[in-house]
Amino acid sequence: MPQRQLTGTRIRERRLRAGLRQAELAGRVGISSSYLNLIEHNKRRIGGKVLIAIAQELDVEPAQLTEGAEAALIATLREARATHTGAGAETEQAEELAGRFPGWAEVLARSHRRVATLERTVETLTDRLTHDPHLAAALHEVLSTVTSIRSTAAILADTREIEPEWRDRFQRNMNEDAARLADRVQALVTFLDREGESTEAAAPQEELDTWLADLGWHLPALEADTPEAADALREQADALSSAPARAQARAWLDRYADEAAQLPGGALQRWCADNAPDPGKVARAFGVSLPVAMRRLASLPADGPTGALGMVSCDASGTLTFRKPVDGFTVPRFGSACPLWPLFSALSQPMVPLRTVVEQPGRDTVRYLCYAVALPQGEVEFGVPPVLEAHMLIVPRPPGAERDGPARAVGASCRICPRTDCGARREPSILADGF
């Protein structure tokens, strides 16, 4: 049943909640009981004066009776039904359930969302237990040490006549193994505690981002001609735990050094002392490409003339390939970002530079000026469709920058975005219940 046709069901709910009999309400609004009965069973459309009068008597806004607030609820109920197709729930009854029993429908919807969240957590943890090489190695070490202790203890317990030197040797082995076991179990517990902070598997990109964040994204060793410091930095990169993260870090450092040679940090800082950090103007002034200008601006030290700037890049699939967050502008660590970011608008308008003021919901709403552009990756060839890559520089605006005009309301990602009236929402927010 279409949602707008549930107006009668909502009127009936509200009337019963108000403790009114059908005849009583009908009399107050000047219609017959039988007509109200038809309305309440959704057999007569209602609008105009009668609707306003009934809403007034029931002390609600007319829109609450005609539109309801259960669109998201109905969508979740349908999802729940699709998950349990064998349970026999009737698809067409979802709206009626939401309309007639909103409280119970909400309980069902919340349970469905909770189950989905828990299933995701279980999947991630199972995947980790099965495939995490660190965990597998740690467990192997623990089991090997336990095996050694068990075998040695059995020898000492079961061998009636054992030479003193062998006995001493096995006792020493057991003592060593016990100490090793304690260390290994401790290391394992520490690992699990650390990993338990998040149920998401640590991706190479995340490991790289964490390392760069620790370095502050500004690398003086690569800005100046100091080969020893640059080598030390590369050794640090080689100490990252996963091979893909090490490879990405190496490539990142090489690109940083190359771009620092194209556009030296000192010259850029001096230029920024007199100019706003507009990547288009930087690109023209220094003869570099827009992505280089953006990355160089994003790599400037936070205590310099520009302050800290953020930057994100994505490939043509929308996957973030570069994430440098800036205070107040949240960049999701996992999953997809907000589709309203100018970064993604740029993907649909290749080669068109976009300049957009945005604001994210937060404790203190701050505005950001975003410069975004999508360009082909690598060289362009005739007859070969270009693969696009988009970049966005994020410049915090000072308080009182309303002269920028209205700001585009964006979020970080749907999961943690409290905006309820967003047309771009693809999944419910975990902040919806009580934040």
Partner 1 sequence: MGKHVLVIEDEPNIIEAISFILSRDGWQVDTHSNGGDAMDTVLSKRPDLVILDVMLPGRSGYDILTDLRNHHETAALPVLMLTARGQNKDRDMAERLGANRFMTKPFSNADVLDAVRDLVPQ
Using CB under 8 A, which of the segments 90-98, 150-158, 257-265, 283-291 binds partner 1? 150-158
CB of 190 to partner 1, least distance (A): 20
Residue count of the chain, please give it. 435
In sequence order, the 6+-apart residues with CB closer than 8 A to the CB of 13 are 99, 100, 102
Give the span between the Cα atoms of 323 and 209, in whole angstroms.
7
Rg (CA), the chain: 32
Task: Out of 144, 199, 289, 321, name the contact with partner 1 by CB under 8 A.
Answer: 144
Beta bridge partners of 396: 368
Query: How many other CB atoms are found less than 10 A from the CB of residue 221?
Result: 19
Q: Does 140 bind partner 1 (CB under 8 A)?
A: yes
Q: Does 18 bind partner 1 (CB under 8 A)?
A: no
Using CB under 8 A, which of the segments 106-114, 158-166, 207-215, 411-419 binds partner 1? 158-166
Residues 159-178 that bind partner 1 (CB under 8 A): 159, 166, 169-170, 173, 176-177
Task: Out of 29, 52, 75, 139, name the contact with partner 1 by CB under 8 A.
Answer: 139
Using CB under 8 A, which of the segments 18-26, 146-154, 298-306, 392-400 binds partner 1? 146-154
Q: 125: part of which helix (H) or strand (E)?
A: helix 102-131
> Given phi > 0 = left and psi -120 to 50 = alpha, else beta, which region is 276?
beta
* DSSP secondary structure, 131-147, as one string: H-HHHHHHHHHHHHHHH
CA torsion, ordered 195, 198, 204, 209, to nearest 10 deg: -110
CB of 235 to partner 1, least distance (A): 23
Q: Does 236 bind partner 1 (CB under 8 A)?
A: no
Interface with partner 1 (CB under 8 A), residue total: 22
CB of 134 to partner 1, least distance (A): 14
Using CB under 8 A, which of the segments 4-12, 63-71, 134-142, 192-200 binds partner 1? 134-142
Longest Cα–Cα distance in the chain:
109
Q: Which amino acid is at 145?
A: T
Task: Out of 69, 136, 182, 387, name the contact with partner 1 by CB under 8 A.
Answer: 136
5 vs 148, which CB is nearer to partner 1? 148
Give the span between the Cα atoms of 334 and 320, in whole angstroms.
10
158 vs 274, which CB is nearer to partner 1? 158
Structure tokens at 431: 């902040």
Q: Does 138 bind partner 1 (CB under 8 A)?
A: no
72 vs 153, which CB is nearer to partner 1? 153
Question: Which of 266, 265, 257, 297 lies closest to 281 in space, CA to CA?
Answer: 297
CA 11 to chain centre: 40
Q: Does 154 bind partner 1 (CB under 8 A)?
A: yes
Task: Out of 16, 69, 71, 143, name the contact with partner 1 by CB under 8 A.
Answer: 143
159 vs 420, which CB is nearer to partner 1? 159
Give the span between the Cα atoms of 338 and 412, in whole angstroms.
5
Provide the binding-site residues for partner 1, judged by CB under 8 A. 136, 139-140, 143-148, 150-152, 154-155, 158-159, 166, 169-170, 173, 176-177
